[in-house]
Structure 1
Amino acid sequence: MKDGFIKVAAVTPKVKVADVDYNCQEICQWIDKAMAEGVKVMVFPELCITGYTCQDLFLQDRLLEEAVEGLGTICTHTKEVDGLIFVGLPLAIKGKLYNVAAAINKGRVVGIVPKTFLPNYNEFYEARHFHSGKDLNTYIRIGEDEVPVTTNQIFTCDVMPSIRIAVELCEDLWVPNPPSISHALAGANLIVNLSASDQIIGKDRYRRELVSGQSARLVCGYIYASAGPSESTQDVVYSGHNIIAENGKLLGDSKIFSEDMLVTEIDMKFLEAERRRMTTYEAGDQSREYNQYVYTNFVLNNSETKLTRFIDPKPFVPSSVEERELRCNEIITIQAMGLKKRLEHIDCKTAVIGISGGLDSTLAFLVTLKAFDYLNLDRKGIIAVTMPGFGTTDRTYDNAVRLIKETGATFKEINISAAVNQHFADINHDPSKHDITYENSQARERTQLLMDIANQENGIVIGTGDLSELALGWATYNGDHMSMYAVNASVPKTLVRYLVKYYADTVENQQLSKTLYDVLDTPVSPELLPPTEGQISQKTEDLVGPYELHDFFLYHMLRLAQTPAKIFRLAHIAFTNQYDDETILKWEKTFYRRFFAQHFKRSCLPDGPKVGSVAVSPRGDLRMPSDACANIWLKELEEL
């Protein structure tokens, strides 16, 4: 359970309707398989001990007695099992019959949760046999234990306080006000659902959306286990559809009509952190209603969880082509709409932008084109300036020129070499000394030119720097760091490439598309040092580290609030075939050092549109002091 991960499973066993001995044997076999994989929380379908489709047989004492004996059999089998297991059965309590979930821990039933909402439509007739457990709040004796029976019950674990489990059964989720809402407000952050959901056309899609949507709304994990096709098929066929979700993200989704086990890990510490950051998530544990909850303890051994879930090496970039195209279109539109509003508000018909032939300035230029098109403004109002200097190569220069001329913007070229040499003379700097002064003087000269041209033309300067550069402080203060509207400010470097590619793939101008593809093939560089044999000599990722690693660190630190050691563990999995541990650790240390030391640059950022869940605007998304120390974060990395 290291780093807050807990391994969970949803299981659809094969059942024989009303054959309790057979069903319990199947359940025990699945428990053994799950425990061999390190599962700690295991969920079976509702009424799985008897089968869901017993109908009027539920009124037979023989079946009910056998179900309780079957529960005892499972308890006996699990005395040495390190886990919390939820199984469904019919249970008679005080003269009424309930559809319940029994929670078993180390051979003991620790809690019983009855179903609240009973379906009574179409092929279902639960209300014919069962009573709602909505108002049931009692204790029953099972073996030597007095066991709580109530829907208002949360299962808590001493060795892992971040896991708090509540239960609902099938129909409970499908109603307008599911019990899981109250459970979550009372503190539950993992909901298990013992279900028997039949399959009709398209229902699996709806079921998937329902489970993932509920997990997102409640900021919780959700485990949904459904009865399968071995139930009676007299009138319907049951889906066997198992689903595991985490805060809206689908972690696992079984094929329908399967009788199998779905296993993955849920990150409970992430869910805790996510709830803490949401000030609109108001738990009601101080009110009378939520003080009526029973908090039932269960025991687990504190062992490390082996991770099998997919760790995305590019968390900012959708993995599917279809989703990526939709995302790219949406992001470029958000950027353009932000700039459109700014131009409208100040009644500005001129935009000034520096074009280097690199990815960032190319994306900012494409966004500016789109904003002008939205406003029906002449693209000649976009003054695109290429400013070759000491490090400019023919490739980037030619791409910059072609990009401007192929789009109808106003082309302007200013060679900065003479001006920068004059500046070196003014400050008595040796131009053969290729230090930070040598580099930053060029960046500031370019920004000064853009600002002055904007004054001349009554326009604004469009910023080109991206989120990854801002996170690392890889920007010249009062150089490329500054603009009048920064359209790329919340776009990470790994995503910039896909946005430019999307534009290249969809634009009708084939010459423009060809130019964009060459920009995509060009190494990332500020081009502030003289080229070597005509080639780029200063490659950013050789100096500051691979941006795909830094974007991974950034996402997991800011978006998921994860610790440096946990991020290193996840990066080891995500980049296992790309970087060794020494390389990952080296650049993670660099990330933390720069992220803290360079915050002063982010404290005075120009305006820019937020496009995703991670942004560093000092006005809304990242409030941190410029003088904060990175020591405790770096210390954790040093101890790895």
Structure 2
Amino acid sequence: MGHYITVATCSLNQWALDFEGNLKRILESIRIAKERGAKLRVGPELEITGYGCFDHFLEGDTYLHSWEVLGKILESDDARNILLDIGMPVAHKNINYNCRVIILNGKILLIRPKMYLANDGNYRELRYFVPWSAMRHVEEYYLPRMIRNITGQSKVPIGDAVISTIDTCVGVELCEELFTPNSPHINMGLDGVEIFTNSSGSHHELRKLYRRIDLIKEATLKSGGVYLYSNQQGCDGDRLYYDGCALIAVNGQIVAQGSQFSLKDVEVLTATIDVEDVRSHRSISSRGMQATSVTAARNISSTPSSYPRIEADIALSDSGKNSKLRFMMPPTKPIKEFYHTPEQEITLGPACWLWDYLRRSNMSGYFLPLSGGIDSCSTAVIVYSMSRLVVEAVEKGDENIIQDVRRIVGESEDSMYIPRDPKELTGRIFHTCYMGTENSSKETRQRAKKLADSIGSYHIDLNMDNLVSAVHTLFALVTNRTPRYRVHGGSNTENLALQNIQARLRMLLAYLFAQLLPWVRNRNGSLLVLGSANVDECLRGYFTKYDCSSADICPIGSISKTDLRRFIGYAKDCFELPVLQEFLDAQPTAELEPITNEYVQNDEIDMGMTYKELSIFGRLRKNQKCGPFSMFTKLVHEWGNELRPTQIAIKVKRFFYYYAINRHKMTTLTPSYHAESYSPDDNRFDLRPFLYNSAWSWQFSRVDALTQDMENE
């Protein structure tokens, strides 16, 4: 008896710089953890500030307010008799660090800075912070006066150390450190640490969870131990959705897994573990040999042989009068980890992101130009999924969501309004509009109307031919020249310009209706405009700059056409929306050119490549870091059985040409939910030029030379 420990980790929906709200959620998670008998609680990375503060981490105010919030936690009665692992930025000797602060009973035990910083993809931590490089070394940190007055301490240790409680040893590992080849948990485990905490700010990306869970299981599979993983959840005010999924693993097996997508602001995960299981798992001679040899090797180097141990006057396991009760509670048994399919991820992730964005922006709802194509259809269905999630949460009695819904739909604070049906809620907060012209087909108009009726959106159907004609007439009046569509004998230049008139007018109309539709319905506020350009069209630049893809936010801007089709197929059955089959059967078309008996505009013909090919080009360009030459050589092996080298070279050169001439469009890309690893988002994720030499003369000549050699073999 006396070896059973209840531990807690959590997912918190923190918001950048929302110090008051973040404090409230931290304290709530501590209260829940204690109610469940936990003696150790770990929270997400930078939970006091929110992870996505970006350049606000360069401001002194951010550090001041972080200490003020930590002071509130130190003073709180809720923070007593539990070991707390709290995340915040700390400045030490004029250097900014991303830190964990370990506190117990109103005292700070240790400030542990992050040692390996995430600095690629969506992350730029080296812009704001410096990694702690002194392994197994601590210094003295002199506390701010406000904290001295609370704790009675003038200085505390800062650095790479572990916490030694009465009955076990706890070590800290921060987010990116788990993903590095020589993770800190390896050496900590060899030095006797039995419980590892990991505080993370990890975003959702399709199919990414497998890697995260595999790494967490592997962290304790060989060396044994208890691993507590905490993650941020929700939209932190940016393009990313942090997908929660807190985890607890013991000796390579998952014993508890939190939800990956949730509207909850606070989710606490607990498990009861037997620390003797860790000691038994480690009782093999080869591990003992390695542990002692590592220590011996360190003794002859400049690096300290062992981790500094900071003593914590607390036993995480129960003893005395509570030991019998705890002994009767068996340790939490291993479970089979759960993964969503990509279709489910699209159903849930962007929907949760949209809800956070709507409730925190103080807007009255969303507006979407609904074209009758699969992209805007997908966007609309994601909004409907959001309504479904909100209604489910309301039915479970979530008071925070009930109050948010009442505020968004314009009900008074004392209103008894409760959304009971997703369609009814959608009708209050979601507005769609079909903006037709003489080039639109009756099929797309009908599909848009049927979809709006099926999900309950407030729908408008209009023709904008008079607006288009007015612009045509103005241009002809000013220039004495009348441009024509290609099917009427016009040039490609004339044809493209005439298409763009329609596209850009739709953007103007979208913002007009978004501002005034609530007024039309005798309601307050205005609407956020949703875009609906997918990742493949963005990569190719197959959209008009400042057309209706220019919006406030875009939930599908980093999702491929292929995955969107799978999502719609899934939603058709899951949401009982048979109309979605019509969208799956339809050919993708922009409907910006006149329809004749001989010609109907087709997206893939216009682009000169298929959506499937675009996905392949995108992954090779971004994930495998291929230029034209290396992309060609890889595709020769991939496509060589179906296509000749000359045909592959043509496709590669066509892609890079259009990618180059359209890259400037990424500078104005609507902020999009990040879901795909090859997103071309120029604003942060994909940092590349937007003015290229589109001839790629040197690169293409190398491709042509290699092609000729292959063809001559």
Bin of the TM-score, shorter chain as denominator length: 0.3 to 0.5
Higher helix share: 2
For the pair shown, the structure with the greater C-alpha radius of gyration is 1
Structure 2 length as normaliser, TM-score? 0.43
Structure 1 length as normaliser, TM-score? 0.48
